[in-house]
Chains A and B, each alone.
Chain A
Amino acid sequence: MTAPTSGMAGTSEGAQELHARNETDPLELLREEGAVLRLPEGTVVDPGDMSVEIAENETMIINMGPQHPSTHGVLRLMLELDGETVVRSKPVVGYLHTGMEKTQEELMYIQGSTNVTRMDYLANFHNETVFSVAVETLLEVDVPERATWIRMLFMELNRVSSHLLFMATNGMDIGAISMMLYGWRERELVLAFFERTTGLRMNCNYIRPGGVAVDLPEGWREQILAMCEAILPRLDEYDTLLTGQPIFQERTQGVGVITAEAAIALGATGPVLRSTGVAWDLRRDMPYMYYDQLDFDVVVGRYGDAFDRYAIRLNEIRESIRLIRQIVDLVPAGDYRVQDKKVTPPPRGRIDESMEALIHHFKLFTEGFKVPAGETYVAVESPRGELGGYLVSDGSAKPYRFHMRDPSFVNLQTLPVMLRGGFVADAVAIISSVDPVMGGVDR
């Protein structure tokens, strides 16, 4: 395969890039122009209903990223522009690829959650839960109720922190710099609780196969409720600052529109899908853990534009806080990890007094535990959509294959649809509204 020459030495990705029209496969050209749905047989395709034969020399292909602050990490977007209008676009990813799925095959199950927590680094508890539940499914281990409730609590807290970060970056991308400061400030409240419990603000490695790493700290209920008290009124301030503000509305309403059919065809999930009016939330529609015992609403948009995606996330913070307040009352007493000696290391105190516990601890951490052969797919609703894990075990202490279905990776495919026909300035708002996390995209 010969890579077409590119003028940008050093950053060239060859065939992966957006190429001139005459060098592009017609089907691919349609895709880059945002045509998603195949027309039924027999329908005559109008080649580009919007961009009627644009002369080659009138358009320009430019790069946005990978080092642009609005591209959220290292997303590179190649845009074909006609004046200031985006005609065609293609996301180029892979700049953060470190082979984490390969690494996962080298790590024992007991070490695995350390790796997955770094994939989608803004939804680390969701990553850990997917991996842990997949391992537990194959092990056929029943996790104690308390551990499951703690997992749900942390996943909802994680959703709050992730959406607060979206509020911050979305505000920053659109020019509301003060919003950036407020978003980071509120997120810090949540991260401080993570640090108090797990020892780390991000990449916590807290949820592990068999339960969670440590029990909740002293006074956790009061701390969480105080945090909810602090965050809720500030969400109303966001409403004042952004939701009702004419400049923000102008920048986001009617920008980056996608239809429900296109979103479903492209496999989009999460706020991107819900903004089109499809009320699909795994927590409600295919309940896992104890979500069926909780009372919450699925926030749905209507127009499928950047504003809807913003409003969905803002209201999902409120719903998550509603969930957290219910969960706090429902967390039962009991074990925070399964008392199965095959999976769980002995408590620290026992190691000092018992030789058997020391041996057990040593064996578990050097050899790990074996998981019966089999395969399973586990999915949870992460802040960005369906986060799925496909685990194949061959009966050894290391996963044979662990694939993470990351919502950002799939949701990025909606960009050519949303960007088409918009301005370059809107591109910034649109990328931001998809809220991709490149750690998850590239894995």
Chain B
Amino acid sequence: MSDQTNEEEAPGPAPPELLHGSPVTWSVGQKVVHPDRGSYLGLVEALKAEGFNVCIDLCAVDYLAQPGRSLPDGVAPERFEVVVNVLSHGRRERLRVRVQVPEADPVVASLFALHPGCEAMEREAFDLFGIRFQDHPDLTRILMPEDWEGHPLRKDYATGRVPVQFKAAPASR
């Protein structure tokens, strides 16, 4: 009985919550927005205008080993994800932005023009994941040496692959 009344009150699934046209999900009480690559820069700009004045963190995740993760409808999972945490001093609120970045073309717009503080963090994501940020002024490696091959935090980059040269043990007298 009660089931039927519930169905009558809510016909069909509730429309997904949207923020500037991008679907919103909640992850253990934290608000997450999932824009596509095209609307990513515009979304962060709109958020900045809304009061999210600090880009507190930017990092990347390689979902190679976890393709079936839960994402809202309409968001196609890709191998990489760029995760941006913005903070509003005025509203005392945090918001997370997750952008899907495909493996074949790992390029995403740089937030440098909006939040200059992303400079080092985007370089870190480039260095460790190989994601390129368009219009970044100085996209070079930051943590790894310049001549390093590969991007270590990718899931297909095995640990312990660097050959270590051991010196021969001194002969015992």
Chain A residues engaging chain B, CB cutoff 8 angstroms? 3, 12-16, 25, 27-28, 31, 36-38, 93-94, 97, 99, 101-103, 106, 137-138, 140, 264-269, 278, 280, 285-286, 373-377, 379, 386, 388, 390, 392, 394, 400-401, 403, 405, 409-410, 412-413, 442-443
| A36 contacts across to B, CB distance below 8 A | 116
A388-B117 contact, Cβ under 8 Å, with A93-B143, A102-B153: no
- Main secondary structure, interface of A, reads mixed
| A405 contacts across to B, CB distance below 8 A | 56-57, 59, 85
- Please pick, from A25, A374, A410, the residue contacting B138 in the complex, using a CB distance under 8 A: A25
Contact present for A409 and B120 (CB under 8 Å) = yes
The 3 A-B residue pairs with the shortest CB-CB distance, nearest first, are A267-B117, A14-B146, A27-B137
- Please pick, from A102, A286, A390, A400, the residue contacting B57 in the complex, using a CB distance under 8 A: A390
- Main secondary structure, interface of B, reads loop
| B113 contacts across to A, CB distance below 8 A | 38
Chain B residues engaging chain A, CB cutoff 8 angstroms? 27-28, 30, 53-57, 59, 61-62, 65-66, 69-70, 83, 85, 89, 92, 94, 96, 112-113, 115-121, 124, 128, 137-138, 140-147, 152-153, 159
| B145 contacts across to A, CB distance below 8 A | 13, 94
| A268 contacts across to B, CB distance below 8 A | 117
A390-B83 contact, Cβ under 8 Å, with A101-B153, A377-B57: yes
Q: A265-B115, A413-B117, A413-B119 are in contact. List 8 more A-B contacts (CB 8 A).
A: A13-B146, A94-B144, A97-B144, A373-B66, A373-B70, A386-B56, A390-B83, A409-B121
Q: Closest residue to A372 on the B side, CB-wise?
A: B28
Contact present for A15 and B142 (CB under 8 Å) = no
Contact present for A266 and B85 (CB under 8 Å) = no
- Please pick, from A93, A377, A392, the residue contacting B30 in the complex, using a CB distance under 8 A: A377
- Nearest CB of chain A from residue B100's CB, rounded to whole Å: 14
A31-B119 contact, Cβ under 8 Å, with A25-B137, A102-B152, A405-B59: yes
- Nearest CB of chain A from residue B3's CB, rounded to whole Å: 27
Q: Closest residue to B118 on the A side, CB-wise?
A: A267
